[in-house]
Structure 1
């Protein structure tokens, strides 16, 4: 080869000075020639075949099965033609095959059944049959193995929960949470009258793990199928996998990263249903700013539920009056009485007070107007107009029927005015993010001079962080205590309390540990305040896990709130009827209506009267009467028939919905 000259041995042109930097940066003239002279590798046929085979394997078993099936069929054809073309004698001990089809058939028999060639008589046909059988052992055997492996992969794929859901009219739950068991339980009850119902859960967890957890928590699903799929609620493809557009409702859980995951799931729904014209969507959002943003951006079509707000409101109301938690649970679950909406044109032109006694088996609590607004406990003089719907508590939609407007004589009360309640002294043991909301809610109903003592474990909560600003009627005092039995008993024994509230340290410990501390606290308080004794004090406790309620009852609790269950019940209710959101929002709003128990003699005397007369007496005070509570037993009678005879004593109470103000 000739010499390859470079810039270093080439003389510089006259008048041009070549700097060292330029010489180093400039590529050599022959450099490209050197690269072009590299030999090009030419793959052999076997390398090409192996390369194609590797690519086929990478595509999965389906492609390989196709190639092996074609190769196996090719063996049938080739050896079948050989049997016929060469007039091979002795096949099965007989004469040569008469045609190619028979030859292919005989070749196939030797591939499928290795013992077929045992009947061959001559050595040439024996050798050919032996070769065909060996090919069948290796190739057809591989084909069968791949088919079996493909089936196993398909079954494994089904176990992983990645197959499409073909359900329609189902409820989709997005995100996995321990609260899902309570939601599924309520949906099973709601679907009890349907022959073919389904609940589909899409979570990031393993499908088998979700199914095992639900099987242990929900033992009887009735007519409802529970289907689990593994995937991301934030991916549109996974939402299509569960047939979200074919669902009737969607519940978005704040699982994993909390609000972030719920927001992503709502936005993923928007990608496949931009105007939210498909299923009803209910999302669990804790941050009120995020909740307001979602409602604004979706034109109020996505209903949001603030778990902490709901739990705090119900806990505070349950602490305020005995029996309210029982009423609220009854309204939130699908077992027993529920809240229904329905139009009754025959009531148009009548007042709300007239409508209160026009239903034998339903108790009214408000009106829904044609513009979409909801009015809980409107004034008795409010006239129903065309398009108004009645909101009532009823056992079932079949019992929500109007029996006609009739004149009802109000019962004669013994008390013309309300009694003046004295200030109260409450103790709250434990603290969490719910604490300020509970104390603030109690303050709204408290009279001037009420004192709230908060006892916290300094190892879990800094006493300096226990602050509730803007209390109008109550004084907040904070005490540090490890909440051990002796120390806690000594702390509360020196004070006279009207009520005790036990909150879980939900922000500092796991649910199981939080409930364990709650149970020990209950036992300690009951040692100081024995039930039925002179110092008996009503105790309300927050329980995080439903399974611990029975233990709390054994510990002496008078009333309890299962935090996660409350939120689950509301999510399940709103997924079936999103219009209930405005009713619950009004009942749980500081400026809206409220459920409360009032002294019985405020509405009725000592004579037994029909319940309709008690309802009419409440209408005179612009209150919607829903039932009564018997003080001796603590039992609450919600939505009794209007014809039921009522005889109440001074200690009993009437359950009403009243406007705040």
Structure 2
């Protein structure tokens, strides 16, 4: 057996050497091999034929005909010159046919390879272009599919430095159905203008630039925006929406985006929402409902019937839509004075199910004046807050918290790293006097640490991904991959504390990956700020309605109008059945826009967890002292 194996290996070795030689030598050996196989077989066929030629020369002639037909060189018989001429013509024909087949096959293979690699150009108009590949891309595509569900045909084109087949496979795995939306993937570098031309951004209606994963995510976004400007220097009607992680890079990206661009600062927005939600439990659920295309969202409508009437009257002019502001020639006016007159050029900003569901239907007749109460503003109270974890968003959260506080507040920050290093990332000297921040170095995944903290004594607990350090240098945006893992472990111990004490911890959690939220061991209806999903929802909303960039900017700021969850008993009598029109009328007296409510009894029941946005103003509802009204107000 060893001898046979050795012989086989030697034959393989000689064959490999033969194949590796020059093309003429390879052709010669293949020709000899063909003749060595065809001639003996042809001889056998002729000599074993039922009626072989009677003469030896006749049999040799028959062998030649068989060889010629088999090798496609004619096999003609006659004079030697005639035979040579026929062989030459056959070889010339064979050469040209082989070359032609080879060229056609090569061209087809190259085209197929080009298509599979995603290098072909897209010929679409009024489509949406998504540039970049990161986890939020799935939420972006899913929301675009939902937004386009009422259109007969729409296209979303994705360009990223990733294999086309892999992109299509991952999208297919995460999105089971795309409805009327066609998803087209192309491979290439988004910072190369020549490659950008493949997705035809010149004819697109919207372009979304996603920050890729990695340390140079923000720099990549800026270069992509510059490449877009180089490809389409003239201003078109396509809205460009981009996102950067570090707020320090926001101005740079805005300059690169140009006048048609809108750039979101992810860390800044997340920090604002974390603080707003920590102050008002349940607010994250409200934003989730408003930003998700599957529910009610912001639209603008023309209402000729309301021209000349006041904004206060418009609040009750739509029974199935909630009025929150005006879109005027000079910009957005959220929650303007109720006495503001609506002009012919104004568009009314409403929260409604779709752009065709905002129909004027007066609900003023459903107001129960007797049920309206007038409550005095509640005085600010001192608070104790606890933050578990520390990352690059930590200083931003503390800065935003200082803007909102009006009463003495103590904040304890517990995170990895030494206390001087943690404290050095926050400018305590510039903070307001009523915010007292203390840093503690400890591992929040250790149950003994949480036990010593007496978590239940705090008014609110904020859990963020703990990396033990603050903001990295400019253009470096990566967060430690284990940050969400540490958050899950911390939440597990907090859940154990709730179950052991039978008390609820007012908890706000910040995560990076939406998939980890499904694993979070917290009670149903808890507040989550998932940066990836939230930013993808914002980008999609703005890409469909550009004016929303200014609207959300005001909602997320400490100044101006914001969303609040206020006690329902401050607006109407608790325990009595009232229409939501009565709640809207009560809020109007306080210069507020009521747009929904949250019922305490349903706070742990999905999928809405008691949140009802844009209810029918004519339908009755009974509030308890523990329920909330969702309003748009300045304070």
Report Cα offsets for 1:316-341 as digits up to 9, x if no partner. Answer: 22222222101101111211011001
Distance 1:384 1:556 in 2: 42
Would the aligned equivalents of 2:368 and 2:579 in 1 still touch at CA under 8 Å? no
Distance 2:374 2:335 in 1: 22
Deviates more, 1:397-406 or 1:189-198: 397-406
Distance 1:351 1:527 in 2: 53
Deviates more, 1:422-431 or 1:403-412: 403-412
Would the aligned equivalents of 2:222 and 2:256 in 1 still touch at CA under 8 Å? no
Would the aligned equivalents of 2:325 and 2:348 in 1 still touch at CA under 8 Å? yes
Would the aligned equivalents of 1:111 and 1:132 in 2 still touch at CA under 8 Å? no
Deviates more, 1:292-301 or 1:508-517: 292-301
1:526 aligns with 2:495: yes
**Residue of structure 1 equivalent to 2:180:** 223
1:403 aligns with 2:361: yes
Would the aligned equivalents of 2:135 and 2:513 in 1 still touch at CA under 8 Å? no
**Residue of structure 1 equivalent to 2:190:** 233
**Residue of structure 1 equivalent to 2:145:** 188
1:334 aligns with 2:293: yes
1:624 aligns with one of 567, 585, 593: 593
Shift of 1:459: 7.5
Would the aligned equivalents of 1:204 and 1:232 in 2 still touch at CA under 8 Å? yes
Change (3 A) 1:349 1:296: farther
Q: Which runs of 5+ in 2 are unaligned?
A: 1-66, 470-477, 604-609
Change (3 A) 1:411 1:326: farther
Partner of 1:530, secondary structure, is: helix
Deviates more, 1:279-288 or 1:322-331: 279-288
Report Cα offsets for 1:127-185 as digits up to 9, x if no partner. Answer: 33222223344442233223212221221122222111112111011222222111111
How do 1:145-294 and structure 2 match up within 5 A?
145-255=102-212, 257-286=216-245, 288=247, 291-292=250-251
Would the aligned equivalents of 2:162 and 2:187 in 1 still touch at CA under 8 Å? yes
**Residue of structure 2 equivalent to 1:659:** 634
Change (3 A) 1:307 1:460: farther
Shift of 1:286: 4.2
Change (3 A) 1:380 1:239: same
**Residue of structure 2 equivalent to 1:595:** 563
Distance 1:589 1:463 in 2: 26
1:517 aligns with 2:486: yes
Distance 2:420 2:238 in 1: 43
Shift of 1:367: 0.9
Deviates more, 1:312-321 or 1:624-633: 312-321
**Residue of structure 2 equivalent to 1:105:** none
Distance 1:607 1:219 in 2: 45
Distance 2:523 2:591 in 1: 40
Partner of 1:551, secondary structure, is: coil
Partner of 2:411, secondary structure, is: strand
Distance 1:111 1:291 in 2: 76
Would the aligned equivalents of 1:236 and 1:268 in 2 still touch at CA under 8 Å? yes
Q: Which runs of 5+ in 1 are unaligned?
A: 1-109
Deviates more, 1:134-143 or 1:480-489: 134-143
Deviates more, 1:437-446 or 1:354-363: 437-446
Shift of 1:350: 1.1
Which one has a bigger Cα radius of gyration? Answer: 1
2:611 aligns with one of 636, 639, 652: 636
Higher relative contact order (CA 8 A, sep 6+): 2
1:392 aligns with one of 331, 350, 353: 350
Task: Tell me the TM-score normalized by structure 1.
Answer: 0.77
Report Cα offsets for 1:258-305 as digits up to 9, x if no partner. Answer: 332222222222233334223111121345565446656877421111
Partner of 2:357, secondary structure, is: coil
Partner of 2:629, secondary structure, is: strand
